[in-house]
Amino acid sequence: MNSQKIISTQKKSPKSLQKTLGIGLTIGMTLLWMFALAGAVYVSQNKLNELFDSALAETAQRIMPLAVVEIINREDLTQAQQVMAFKAHNEPLVYIVRNNLGQILLQSHNADPAIFNQTLLKGFNSSATHRFYGVSAVQDTLHIEVAEPLTQRRDAIIEMAVTLLWPLVFLIPFCFIGSWAFVHYSLRHVLAYRDEIESRGSSDLSLIKTESLPAEIFTISESVNRLLDRLRRALESERSFTANSAHELRTPIATALAQIQRLQQEVSAGPTQDRMIKLESTIRGLSNLSEKLMQLAKAEGGGLLSNEPCDLISLLKLITNDAQRSHPETVIILALPKNKEYRSAIDPDAFAILIRNLLDNAIKHGAIQNGAIQNRVIKHTEKDQPIEISFSANGLLTIVNDASVIPAEILTQLRQRFVRSNVSAQGMGLGLAIADAIVSGTGATMTFNSPATGRVDGFEVSVDFSTIN
């Protein structure tokens, strides 16, 4: 049980396909660009090394004849000589000329003998810090070795890589924006499909347009439409069954009630008539119970919203007028905004059931004399207090009936089935449960207040229809 709760609370919100594709494409492009950059740097590095090596070899080849002439023309062949610079300059290439014994005969002005190889090597070789090229002349009696610092090559490569990398820094945001825009454009039909599903009310079970949807989504949308169609037919069957059941039940009940009323007229007062009165009362109870159960079935069975918004104010007038005619002993005051209508998506029949139940509740509990307080029994005050119904221009219905103050803990229980605040009142405790089921099913909100607003007693029901989408 606990693990189920943990799993349910850890449920992740779904990922955005647009966001995933945008980020994925951007990362892919960036990686591709990086691989291309690495390849370019690698190739460039090899080419640069070849060029630098060629320059190194060419330098040795060019200096060697000059060095030979210089050394041979000396008086003391073993005396070392350092070539002086004409003027101060940076000397990336340095060289030394040594005899076959390793004695230095000539060196560039900035050459450090320590960096050179101790043995006289020919051709290219490298140390940790330098690249060397060595060549011998005069029957291997003279050897020149030219050195070039590796940092020079490395700096060139880094400079080139950085030059290539800079555009990427600007390219990544552009790439992300471009990818997002392209994905957004590509998914426009999917997004329109999502918006259409989101925007429709819970009662709208009409088919969703599937035109222009991509092939990947098309089959899903077809399945959704088939499901909606089945759901709509199932709900229609259910509603039809409820309506037919109501008809099939009401007619025999009406017959039984009418027959018993006729019999009462034909017999004189006495035990027989008393039994008939009880029988009539039982039939009425049966009628009310079947009525309430069918209303509850409808309230909980869906179909509480309509595709065609209807004017609740004119419906309220009609229903209130009916209630006034059915209960002429009760004074009902109806306050409506002048010259206005309030259209809502609530199904007119569901609205009528809701109002009838709220009115029945107000009439039953608002016109009862002095009940006693016992557990959930509420004391009601004087009879014939008017029931006040108001409907505001912004969709707030309020019904106020006379009653003693109902404790808060009982107010919270009134939405439950078969719970009554006053057991001395006739009723099954289903009216407010039916009202609550309708309100919950339509997305409206219902609140109970006792005492009623602006009064020291009374019971007030408020239903806000503005919250219905």
Contact positions vs another protein (CB under 8 A)? 243, 246-259, 261-262, 265, 283, 287, 291, 315, 318-319, 326, 348-349, 351-352
What is the Cα–Cα distance from 135 to 78, expressed in whole angstroms? 19
12/262 with CB nearer another protein: 262
Smallest separation, CB 322 to another protein (Å)? 8
Smallest separation, CB 382 to another protein (Å)? 27
Helix, strand or coil, per DSSP, at residue 448: strand
Instruction: Using the Cα atoms of residue 229, residue 230, residue 233 and residue 235 in order, give the sign of their dihedral.
Output: negative
Smallest separation, CB 268 to another protein (Å)? 16
Count, in order, helices (H) and strands (E) of the chain: 10, 13
Buried b (16+ CB within 10 A) or exposed e, 334-344: bebeeeeebeb
Q: Which residue has the tokens 């289903």?
A: 430
107/306 with CB nearer another protein: 306
Residues 6+ apart with CB under 8 A from 40: 164
Smallest separation, CB 222 to another protein (Å)? 33
253/377 with CB nearer another protein: 253
Smallest separation, CB 243 to another protein (Å)? 7
For the chain, give the number of residues.
Answer: 469
59/264 with CB nearer another protein: 264
Smallest separation, CB 287 to another protein (Å)? 5
152/255 with CB nearer another protein: 255
3/265 with CB nearer another protein: 265
Burial class (CB in 10 A: 0-12, 13-18, 19+), 212: exposed
317/455 with CB nearer another protein: 317
160/260 with CB nearer another protein: 260
What DSSP string runs through 301-363? SS--EEEEEEEHHHHHHHHHHHHHHH-TTS-EEEE--TT---EEEE-HHHHHHHHHHHHHHHH
144/463 with CB nearer another protein: 463
Smallest separation, CB 235 to another protein (Å)? 15
Smallest separation, CB 13 to another protein (Å)? 41
What is the Cα–Cα distance from 412 to 453, expressed in whole angstroms? 17
Give phi and psi for 106, each to the nearest 5: -155, 145
Smallest separation, CB 280 to another protein (Å)? 10
- Cβ atoms within 10 A of the Cβ of 359, count? 26
Helix, strand, coil % in the chain, rounded to nearest 5? 55, 15, 30
What is the Cα–Cα distance from 222 to 234, expressed in whole angstroms? 18
